[in-house]
Amino acid sequence: MSKRTFSYLSQSDISIRIERFVRAVESSSSPAYESIRTRSGQERIQPTNLSRHFEHMQSMVDFFDDRCSYSYSEHLQVFRQACQDIGLDRNLICPHGQGTGYLSYHQSMNALVDRIRELTKAPWYRRRKNDRTHQAKQQQIDVAEYVDWVLNRCARTVVVRVDLHYRAVVQSRLRVEQVFDDLEALTRARERNPIFQHETGYICSVEQGEERGIHIHAAFFFTGEYVWSDRYKAQQIGELWVEITRGQGYYHSCNDDKESYGDTCGVGVVRRGDAHMRSNVIEAMRYLAKDSQHLRMRPARARCFRVGRRQKLFRGIR
């Protein structure tokens, strides 16, 4: 008898499990379960390496919610399409292809694996992976150009980097649209909150990791003529994040760890003519455009990567 677990997982956890499952199917040729004959002639169901991915299959099948409009990664799209194609229902069984009746659970999982394997060979699936890789490379180029432009605006620029997270007790019920709502509140605050009075640019990236779920990497640039303490400015922004998330979020200031970066430090005070420091800042900001922690799902038309607009700098004003 197969083991099926129905414990609740976060939205981020489930999407990552679906991706792992699809990747495992794509890279293997085995079924979900094998049927073997014993010496007595009886049929016995034998699990395979893919079987371990079915522990939270119920949550994976129930994951997709048509009440909200999402954009899904190619792995989630394949999984959803495969479930629809074979008619997999909430009982984790699907109709028999030859007529009336239903397949067993093990047969249904084999049918799901077969259909996923077919879909991962489709041109659109491979194109989506290549498109994301290309987009990440282009974003890194754009970031380098943007940071170079920002650092040219002032004789001295204060660079602040903060990682914005949600507390573990919140992650289990956190939805991706809430993260984007909070990010929107943070970026809107730039227009009126005195913390950002002398800001000269910003970069924000929404990412998804296996350990900390959905989180935000953010960088803010300020003119060194009016802002002196990068650590205090990072603290102000972090505390604002905690306020925006109503105490559900917390932050990590990279500016507090400047010494640990040694000769590669890319935060703090940067002088316009310091080529080495400028290079460090650009490299540190390129990290925000990486593809390794991409979102598996996002609200439709939501932007995961944001940079400030290039505009003329007026004395004493952002």
> Mean per-residue pLDDT for 29-41?
84
> Among candidates 59, 14, 17, 22, which has minimal Cα distance to 171?
14
Output the pTM of the full model: 0.88
Cβ burial, residue 316 (10 Å; 0-12/13-18/19+): exposed
Q: Are residues 26 and 139 in the same domain?
A: no
Statement: residue 48 has pLDDT above 60: yes
- Residue 209 shares a structural domain with residue 109: no
Q: Where are the alpha helices (DSSP H) in 216-314?
A: 230-244, 258-261, 275-286
126 within domain boundaries: no
Q: Are residues 58 and 104 in the same domain?
A: yes
Asked whether residue 117 falls in the same domain as residue 143, the answer is no
In a domain, 295, yes or no: yes
Query: Is the same domain home to 43 and 141?
Result: no
Identity at 137, one-letter amino acid code? K
Q: Please answer whether residues 58 and 89 qualify as being in contact, where contact means their C-beta atoms are separated by less than 8 angstroms.
A: no
Q: Averaged over 289-307, what is the pLDDT?
A: 86
Q: How many CA atoms lie within 13 A of 185 on its CB side?
A: 14
Same domain, 166 and 77: no
- Which of 97, 121, 145 is the endpoint of a domain? 121
Domain assignment present for 314: no
Q: Is the pLDDT of residue 5 over 50?
A: no
Domain end: 72, 96, 121, which one?
A: 121
The CATH number of the domain holding residue 285 is: 3.30.70
Q: Are residues 168 and 25 in the same domain?
A: no
Stretch 187-197: mean pLDDT: 93
Same domain, 106 and 146: no
Q: What is the pLDDT of residue 308?
A: 87
Looking at residue 98, its pLDDT comes to: 66
Q: Are residues 184 and 258 in the same domain?
A: yes
Indicate whether 312 pLDDT > 70: no
Same domain, yes or no: 160 and 249: yes
Contact 267, 231 (CB under 8 A): no
Q: b vs e for 190-216, b when ≥16 Cβ sit within 10 Å of the residue's Cβ?
A: beeeebbebbbbbbbbbbbeeeebbbb
Which amino acid makes up residue 191? E
Q: Domain range for residue 250?
A: 135-307
Mean pLDDT across the chain, nearest whole number? Answer: 89
Same domain assignment for residues 205 and 229: yes
Is 318 within the bounds of a domain?
no
Check: CB of residue 79 under 8 Å from CB of residue 18: yes
**Count of structural domains within the chain:** 2
Q: Which helix (H) or strand (E) holds 112?
A: helix 105-119
Tens digits of per-residue pLDDT, 115-166? Answer: 999 999 999 998 988 888 888 888 889 999 999 999 999 999 999 999 999 9
| Residue 105 shares a structural domain with residue 166 | no
